[in-house]
Structure 1
Amino acid sequence: MKTHESGRRTTTVNRRGFLRATALGAATVYGGLNVARSRAEAVPASGKVRVALVGSGGMGRGNLDTFLGNAEVECPVVCDVDDRMLAEAVSLVERRRGTRPATTRDFRRVLERPDVDAVIVATPDHWHALPTVLACQAGKDVYVEKPLATSIREGRAMVTAAREHRRVVQMGTQWRSGRHFAEAVACVHSGQLGKVSLVRGWAYHDWLPACPKRPDGPVPDGVDYDMWLGPAPKRAFNPNRFHFNFRWYWDYAGGLMTDWGVHLINVLLWAMGPQPPTSVMSSGGNLNADEAWETPDAQMAIYEFPDYMLVWEHKNGVGIGLNGRPWGMSFTGTEGTLFLTDAGFEVLSERRKAADEPKRFPGSGDARPAHVRNFLDCVKSRKAPDQDVEVGHHVSTVAHLGNVAQRAGRKVYWDAGAERVRDDAEADRLVGVDYRAPWTLPYYPKV
């Protein structure tokens, strides 16, 4: 027995007994929205999978390292606009495989190569859509970092390209392949919590690197800055906008809402189903005057769905969030509430059932190896992966809508069929993005 902060006793349960009690295996919740596909030129089940890396920063190298943990993976080429990042990726491949990959600053050179089966796209967010779409056109499968893109309409173009060219495209939200996340979703589906009408996700971060206001400056040696900007607006180089801190600038990303929010909203939607929201409102701002963020360092978004409400909140600079957890998710039902993090999950009964012991269920470790393994298996089988591009688009859309409401400064109403904001042309413009010439995105929806 263990004691919860409230004074209740808790019981740690084993997986086999828990899943038997829910009458739902993890396979039930993994299958949700997957649609099988096939193609004649699939990689042989026993063959090598030749994986290229586009975007060799920290996330890219972390993904590549996980891919190289699978014996069938080879890496013939790595790409980045920063020579220092390229050198680190080359060193990684040499260390893991004993071979030296080719290098390029231009992702299009990667897509021309016949010795590439799949591409990891781990660039800044504003560079997710175009490499993914062109990779699909070139016959390559894609593992793309989250969020799917910087806008909803770019995400739709990515789905269209993947479907038209019958490509396997997986978004890198690895918790979709995490065992204890699947078990928590199974618990929600089992009815143990009763009718769930409120779900929450939150991220309180006290560990992010500082982003103090800095003047513009020279482009670092070895960096193709115009290529780094790509379809984003032309701007003078500023170190705050480069590498990790690009996340906090609207030209390139959506802040914590799409950086961390996508991860947690992903699991909330996995449990609650594929229906879209009908409306969202958001409030927040930049409460830390010492930071140079454009995106909110504090934000709360409230989504209305047909049968429930979803609340997202984040705060930078502090580390204590809801229920004492720096980040997590909760599902509140008529019979109980489930709290979920990477460390595991806990089910608490409603107060009228105070005699029931809360149940704690341990975490299952890093989910990224399983997520990458799922992608590789699907490259061979041509089945849809755990986080198929359509699912990734749905999840990313919900996160983006929080930012649409935030930037518009008012509640917005969503027409999911048309993927438009209803009766609000100004807010609807935030659903898409304008590309800087000469860059254009195939399959971008006409509006």
Structure 2
Amino acid sequence: MPTHSRRRFLSQSSQLLAGASLASLPATSTLAASYAVAANEKIKVALIGCRNMGWANLNSMLKMPEVECVALCDVDDTVLNERAAELEKKIGKKAKLYKDFRKLLENKEIQAVIIGTPDHWHCLQTIYACEAGKDVYVEKPLANSIEECLLMVAAARKYNRVVQVGQWQRSAPHFNEAMQHATSGKIGKIRTVKTWAYMGYGKTSPVLPDEPVPAGVDYKMWLGPAPERPFNRNRFHGSFRYFWDYAGGLMTDWGVHMIDMGLKGMKVTTPKSVQAMGGKLGFPDHADETPDTLQAVYEFDGFTLLWEQAKGIARGPYDREHGVAFIGNLGTVVVDRGKWEVFPEVENGAYLTEMVPVRNNTMNNLDQHTKNFVECIKSRQKPNGDIEFGAHAAINAQLGNMAYRLGRKIFWDSSKNSIVDDSKAMEMAKATYHNGWNLPKV
């Protein structure tokens, strides 16, 4: 990467940082409203990407009587028609159907959109939705590159939109209780935060031949800004996340969730440096490009944060498939989606901190997260999973993957929001668009 290009990227990053302010902001900060929602007014939402989490998010929102779904969009006719029939049965009327999200965004009736598309689409669709005056609930990870993350924050602020990222642990009371206990001083100085996802799935992923595009699928639109490639089922529904063109494997699937909780608990945003190692160690013959095994070490002032991942293994640290552990001198607080507890250190037969029995999660945290989004549409408050927090988590995940792929430590300058003196890493941090799509300007 030429010196002038590196300087331009650093300059752009710094300008975006100044405009978007990626420093943590209180969740009570108020956004300007381009419209007001009366207490008895229906909030009309639309879903872009109807297959998995997008559909789950919509169904969660529809539990609230003030939410009405008026439109669905998907590039796969089979998925779109099935979801349309399910929605009509659920709400008693038909929604408008689209295969091109740009046409949906022209619909002025729509006040908010849910984006449940593959990662490589999040940036374009979120920014275009903000430009169109829609509030946005976007699935995690926020984006597939660091440059996109910065642009998305800038767009949300420029257009005064409420943007909630689907990192729904931020709306989970038991996660907050665990983090409050961990940082209260009761477990002493926290020297390490361990985050992980050991997933029992993914034991089979055979290499498959390319094939014709399935009937009813607008594959050109599915690819969008990703590189042109023949259709292959391994790269399509669900399993797209294990190919670099579209996503970042377990790191960007689960890592953004758990690393996000480590960042929130320790009140930090981005690291000083990252190093990582791993590979396709469990299943070297799989079609996946992303590693099935990975460890990444993040350096912060006064502590380290560790990320561990494994496909095909379900028993992770503390016998949990996923979680966050705040490890202090006097004990360790461990929390996952189901519960939290304390493991005291023992000295001379005595606990060094109080033994806290298991505290179970009794709530539906996705419902709490979507409810928070809807409440913020009305109040214009920043939501629990505000776009800045989504950017922090995604930047950490992207840096971890980049350190693995480059095979070296990467240094990060939080004051400039940029990588330090590494031309290849700087290039990887940028978004590269194809097929006539261009990175939005903010």
Alignment TM-score, normalising by the size of structure 2: 0.91
Structure 2 unaligned residues grouped into runs of 5+: 1-23
CA contact (8 A) 1:282 1:299 kept: yes
1:353 is displaced (CA, Å) by 7.5
Matches within 5 A, 1:136-155: 136-155=130-149
The whole-number CA distance in structure 2 between the counterparts of 1:52 and 1:422 is 40
Decide which of 320, 326, 330 is 1:325's aligned counterpart.
320
Decide which of 95, 100, 103 is 1:101's aligned counterpart.
95
The whole-number CA distance in structure 1 between the counterparts of 2:209 and 2:134 is 41
The whole-number CA distance in structure 2 between the counterparts of 1:262 and 1:429 is 22
Decide which of 337, 341, 348 is 1:342's aligned counterpart.
337
Q: Which residue of 2 aligns with 1:365?
A: 363
Is 2:197 the partner of 1:203?
yes
Q: Which residue of 2 aligns with 1:430?
A: 428
1:33 is displaced (CA, Å) by 5.2
Matches within 5 A, 1:347-426: 347-352=342-347, 354-356=349-351, 358-359=355-356, 360-426=358-424
Q: Please identify, of 351-360 and 365-374, the stretch whose mean Cα deviation from structure 2 is larger.
A: 351-360
* Cα displacement string for residues 130-171 of structure 1 (whole angstroms, at most 9, x for unaligned residues): 010000000000000000010111011110010000000000
1:32 is displaced (CA, Å) by 4.5
Taking only the aligned residue pairs, the percentage that are identical comes to: 45
Task: Give the counterpart letter for 1:255 in structure 2.
Answer: G
* Cα displacement string for residues 189-248 of structure 1 (whole angstroms, at most 9, x for unaligned residues): 322121111001111111247321101111000000000000000001111000100000
CA contact (8 A) 1:34 1:386 kept: no
1:274 is displaced (CA, Å) by 2.7
Q: Which residue of 2 aligns with 1:293?
A: 288
1:298 is displaced (CA, Å) by 0.5
SS at 2:156 equivalent = helix
The whole-number CA distance in structure 2 between the counterparts of 1:166 and 1:367 is 26
Matches within 5 A, 1:76-155: 76-155=70-149
* Cα displacement string for residues 302-354 of structure 1 (whole angstroms, at most 9, x for unaligned residues): 00011210000101111111122222110011221101111211112221275
Structure 1 unaligned residues grouped into runs of 5+: 1-29
Decide which of 262, 266, 269 is 1:268's aligned counterpart.
262
**Structure 1 residues 407 and 258 mapped into 2: Cα distance closer, same or farther (>3 Å)?**
same
CA contact (8 A) 1:39 1:382 kept: yes
Q: Please identify, of 61-70 and 255-264, the stretch whose mean Cα deviation from structure 2 is larger.
A: 61-70
1:443 is displaced (CA, Å) by 3.3
Q: Which residue of 2 aligns with 1:25?
A: none
1:31 is displaced (CA, Å) by 8.3
The whole-number CA distance in structure 2 between the counterparts of 1:100 and 1:208 is 37
SS at 1:190 equivalent = coil
The whole-number CA distance in structure 1 between the counterparts of 2:214 and 2:415 is 45
Q: Which residue of 2 aligns with 1:309?
A: 304
* 4+ runs deviating over 4 angstroms: 30-34
**Paired residues, what number?**
415
1:87 is displaced (CA, Å) by 1.2
The whole-number CA distance in structure 2 between the counterparts of 1:31 and 1:180 is 22
1:79 is displaced (CA, Å) by 0.3
The whole-number CA distance in structure 1 between the counterparts of 2:348 and 2:423 is 49
Is 2:216 the partner of 1:216?
no
